[in-house]
Amino acid sequence: MSHLIDTHTHLFVEEFDDERDAVVARALEAGVKHLCLPCINASSVAAINSMCDKYPGVCHPMIGLHPTDVADDYKEQLDCLYSLLQQDERYIAVGEVGLDFYWDTTYSNQQVEAFEQQISWAREANLPLVIHSRKAFNELYRVMDGHRGSMLSGIFHCFSGTVEEAEALLTFPGFMLGIGGALTYKKSTLPTVLAGAVPLNRIVLETDSPYLAPVPHRGRRNESAYVVEVVKALASIYGMSYDEVAAITTANAMQVFNKIS
C-alpha cells in the first residue's frame, strides 16, 4: 500500500495527552508515514519539538504564529519564533500562518503585518508556507498577490472555498490545497468544487486533528490514521484507485516539504 502524509496535525495538543503514542502507532499502521506539526505560538514549540525528538523521521516541525494568536504581544512572539527558526535546521515550513477574521477583527491589521513578516521568513529561509485563511479570502489574496514571482511555495490549509476561490489560489504555482475531513461531510460543496476546478496534482492530504474528523468518525476526536477516509473520498471524486490517489498526494506533499526525505 502507498504511503500517506498527514500534512497538518496538532498531535502535540492536550486532547492527545492520554494516548499520543497510540495515535502515532495507529497512523503508521494505516500507512501514514509522515506527520507534519504546525506551530501555533511560541509556547507550542517545546511540545512540538518533544514529539519530533521522540519520533524522528515521522514527526516534522513547523514554526509560525497562528493568526488567532496575534495579540498585544505579537511582536515579541515573532521575535522569539524567528530566533528559533534560525537555530534549528529541522523546521520543514513556516506555519501555521495567515489571516483569520472569523471570531474577531480587533487585530486584523496586526495579523496582516505578522503574515507579511512570516512570508519574509519563508523567502529568506527558502521554506514553504502553511497558510490558514478564514473569512479573509480577499485580504489573503491581496497579500499573496504582492509576492507573485517570488518562488514562494506551500499549502493553503483546510481549503473549503468556491470554484472561483480555488481557481484564484491555483494561480500561485508553488501552492497546493490542503484537503481534509470536511470533504466527506454530507453538505460539503468541496466534492463539486474539486471535480470542477482542482486537478489532483494540486492536492495534499491533511487531518487538522484533533478537529474536523471525517465520516464515519465525525463528532469524535480526529487523528492522523483517519486521513485514509479522505483518500477514499478523493478516489471516488477523481475516478482513481486508492493507491493512485495516495501516490499522487504523497508526491505533492514531498514536493512542498522537500526537507522530508
Q: What is the pLDDT of residues 12-30, one digit of tens each?
A: 999 999 999 999 999 999 9
C-alpha cell, 66: 497562528
Q: pLDDT band for 2, please (50, 70, 90 cuts).
A: confident
Inter-residue contact 134 to 102 (CB < 8 Å): yes
pLDDT of residue 103: 86
pLDDT of residue 105: 86
Rounded CA separation 74/141 (Å): 22
What percentage of the chain exceeds 70 in pLDDT? 100
HEC secondary structure over 29-74: HCCEEEEEECCCCHHHHHHHHHHHHHCCCCEEEEECCCHHHCCCCH
What percentage of the chain exceeds 90 in pLDDT? 96
Q: Considering only CA atoms, which of 187, 171, 166, 167 is closest in space to residue 179?
A: 166
CA angle 145, 150, 155 (to 5 degrees): 70
CA angle 154, 64, 164 (to 5 degrees): 40
DSSP string, the chain: ---EEES-B-TTSGGGTTTHHHHHHHHHHTTEEEEEE---SGGGHHHHHHHHHHSTTTEEEEE---GGG-STTHHHHHHHHHHHHHH-TT--EEEEEEEE-SS--TTHHHHHHHHHHHHHHHHHHT--EEEEEES-HHHHHHHHHTTTTS---EEETT----HHHHHHHTTSTTEEEEE-GGGGSTT-SHHHHHHHH--GGGEEE---BTS-PPTTSTTS---GGGHHHHHHHHHHHHT--HHHHHHHHHHHHHHHSTT--
Q: List pLDDT tens digits, range 160-194.
A: 999 999 999 999 999 999 999 999 999 999 999 99
Rounded CA separation 248/108 (Å): 36
Q: List pLDDT tens digits, range 107-120.
A: 899 999 999 999 99
**Residue 112 CA, distance from chain mean position:** 19
Q: Considering only CA atoms, which of 131, 88, 86 is closest in space to residue 112?
A: 131
Q: What is the mean pLDDT of residues 225-234?
A: 98
Q: pLDDT band for 1, please (50, 70, 90 cuts).
A: low
pLDDT of residue 243: 97
